[in-house]
Each structure stands twice: as structure tokens, then as C-alpha cells.
Amino acid sequence: MRTTPAKRAFKYRFRPTDAQAAELSRTFGCVRKVYNLALSARTEAWARQERVNYNQSSAMLTAWKKTEELTYLNEVSSVPLQQALRHLQAAFAAFYAKRARYPRFKSRKRSRRSAEYTTSAFRFRDGHLTLAKMTEPLDIVWSRPLPAGASPSTVTVCQDAAGRWFASLLVEDPTVKPLPATGAAVGVDVGLDHLLTLSTGETVANPRHERRDRARLAKAQRRLARKAPGDGANRIKARRAVAQVHARIADRRRDHLHKLTTRLVRENQTIVIEDLTVRNMVKSRSLARAISDAAWAEFRSMLEYKARWYGREVIAVDRWFPSSKLCSTCGALQARMPLHVRTWMCACGATHDRDVNAAKNLLAVGLTASVCGAGVRPQRRTPGGQPAVKQKTQRREP
């Protein structure tokens, strides 16, 4: 049981002045430069079978600032530069633990433009946020209030591809605490025709946000394709127009998923999902666009961290469990179940909707895994009536 308040990031848009935008742009460039320099140094050391830790890279940063070539690093706040080295250290820690691939260099055009400030590099008083090297507070659009008495521990400032500026404030939120326990449990099957199908029989329509704005996106991309290559003003303007359409799609998708996941977590104590490998599924040329638009991975990520916040349990069932082919009434396993078959009848006489039946089976095996701990699949019978051998399914921790 968590005793300390959970840390939560509150993200707001702001409108910088010309001087603030110039200062932040310089900071973004210096952060990218320091990150790439440190990565290059650590890569060379890696080739020599040596490891460079954070303290050594921090000493390198001090030496770089004293050189004539990199003296401009002294013009920006030193905190975002140190935070860049910490982020690189975390990336290497994930690589050494085999949780991620080798860190990559940051690109001026493609990488996220951001800088992180700790408490020594900003001032937050009476709802006004002032960053280091700035004399005026940021003009933040407070779309929602911070928790009463909250004091940010870090502030991350970024600019997205659409040209929008954001400030993310990390605070301790006392309102995030375990909800009263409930006995409700639900199985969730994700899909494309319906975004979600619950074991209760309820379905949630797939909004298909990308498809709804596909014509607008195609028009903006055609205009970009006609612009001369390079960094001309017209090409930058056209590229930003494409990014604005993508931002609109992503914002609407994220808002919809937040509402869905919050509702599921509040209403259910246990939520059972399928452990899908989305990164492999999007390799299908015919389904990649639709799967990306559904954002199954983002849905799972939101579900898991909100479950941790509110004291709920998310169980991921092994992806090889035949949830669609298994009769939820008698346990008979069908030999084949092509994707175009949406409704089918079992030998026992039960008629199943494919997705509802899959959600019910996910719930059953998930609850079994939760009780038994070993994730034993329930006994089932083959279409011929002979009992099938019990199989084990690996329980994936969320």
C-alpha cells in the first residue's frame, strides 16, 4: 500500500515572448549538443570495452565549457545540460539491463525539443513560473488547477512539431490514492471494428481519428511534397501544417483513451487484457495503419499506470491463449477461426459473438491466474469431446 502521495505531471500550454522563445531554442540546441557529445564519448569508450558513468560525463561537460568551440554552453542554464546527462545515463542503464536498444543520437529536425529544469533552475510563486536565465514568468494557460499547496519538483519545457509550447510540472498529488475495493472484474478484448469489447457484452466504437482527418492530412502532405527541398520558409510552413494535423489526431485519440481507461479503472477491481505484441502486428502492410490509429499500446500503458495509482489490478494473458476459438460455455476448442468469422456456433448449441466470447475467456483465464498464481488455463474439451491437456500460460506482469 502506497503511503506517500503519487507524483503526477500536469501539462499546460504557454505562449512565450520572442526573448523567451529564443532562450528556450538555444537551450534545446545546447541540450541536444551535450547529449550527442556525451553519447559519442561513451560510444568510443564502449568500443574500447570501457564504461563511462554519469560522474565522468559530468566532468567532460565541465571541460567542454572551457573550450573555445563550446563556450556558448555557458550562455544557457547548466541544469538542463546536467539533466540531459542523467537521461543518457538512464538510457544506458536500460540498455545494459536489456530493456531497450542502444541509445541513438538526437536529430535537430526529428528529435523532441525539450529541456528539464529542477528546483534550483526555476521559481514557482503564486501561480507564476519563471525559468532560469529569464526575467519574466511564462504566460501559461492554466487549463486545470494544480493540487492545493502543490510545489513542482521538476519542470519540463518542450515544443512539438506543430510549433506548440508546453510546460509539464511534476508534483505530488494527494488526490491520487487507492479507490475503495470492489468485486467487479472485466475482460477486455481490443479490436478494429470495435475498439474495445468487454466481457459484459458492452462494445466501444472505434473512433478512427486518423481516418476522419485523412483527407485533410493528405492535402497538407501534397502541399509539402511540392515545396523545394531544404529549410526554406515555405517548406517549414508546409511541414508545420502537416504536423498540426497529426497533433489534432493525436490529441483527440489521447483524450478518448484517457476517458476510457479512467472509467474502466474506477468501475473494476480487476481488468484482464491480452498481451499483444503491437510492434510486430504493425508490420502487416494491410493492418498497420488501422492498428496504429487504434493505439492499443497506449491504451495498455494508461490502464497500467492508472491501476497502480488507484489500487487496481491489471492482468495480461499470454498472447497465444486461444481466446477467440475457445467456447466460453462448454470449453470446446475450435480448430480454425478465420478473421472474417465474427459470429459462430459451438457444438454445444451456444452462439457466440467472436469478440464478446474472447473477452469472456480472457476474464476466466485471468481470474484463474490471479487466484492460482501459476496461470493455469481452465480445463477444456476439444470439438470431438475428448478432454484437452491442461496447458500453462505465462502470466505477464503489467
Tell me how far apart the alpha carbons of residues 169 and 155 are, in angstroms, rounded to a whole number: 5
Q: Are 256 and 207 in contact (CB under 8 A)?
A: yes
Q: What are residue 118's phi and psi, to 5 degrees?
A: -95, 180
Tell me how far apart the alpha carbons of residues 59 and 51 are, in angstroms, rounded to a whole number: 14
**Given the DSSP bridges, would you call strands 165-173 and 154-159 parallel, antiparallel or unpaired?**
antiparallel
The counts of H helices and E strands in the chain are 10, 13
C-alpha torsion sign, points 314, 320, 325, 327: negative
Q: Write b or e for each residue in 351-383: b if 16 or more Cβ atoms lie within 10 A of its Cβ, otherwise e.
A: ebbbbbbbbbbbbbbbbbbeeeeebebeebbee
Tell me how far apart the alpha carbons of residues 168 and 165 are, in angstroms, rounded to a whole number: 10
Tell me how far apart the alpha carbons of residues 347 and 332 are, in angstroms, rounded to a whole number: 8
> Counting every residue, how long is the chain?
398
Q: What are residue 372's phi and psi, to 5 degrees?
A: -80, -25
Which of the 8 DSSP states describes residue 118?
Answer: E
Residue 384 exposure: Cα atoms within 13 Å on the Cβ side: 4
At 28 the three-state DSSP class reads helix
Cα 228 to Cα 53, 110, 114: the distances in Å are 44, 19, 28
Tell me how far apart the alpha carbons of residues 174 and 88 are, in angstroms, rounded to a whole number: 31
Helix (H) or strand (E) holding 250: helix 233-267
Helix (H) or strand (E) holding 205: strand 203-205
Nearest Cα residue to 263 out of 211, 292, 306: 306
As annotated, the active-site residues are 189, 274, 355
Q: Are 337 and 325 in contact (CB under 8 A)?
A: yes
**Given the DSSP bridges, would you call strands 185-190 and 270-274 parallel, antiparallel or unpaired?**
parallel
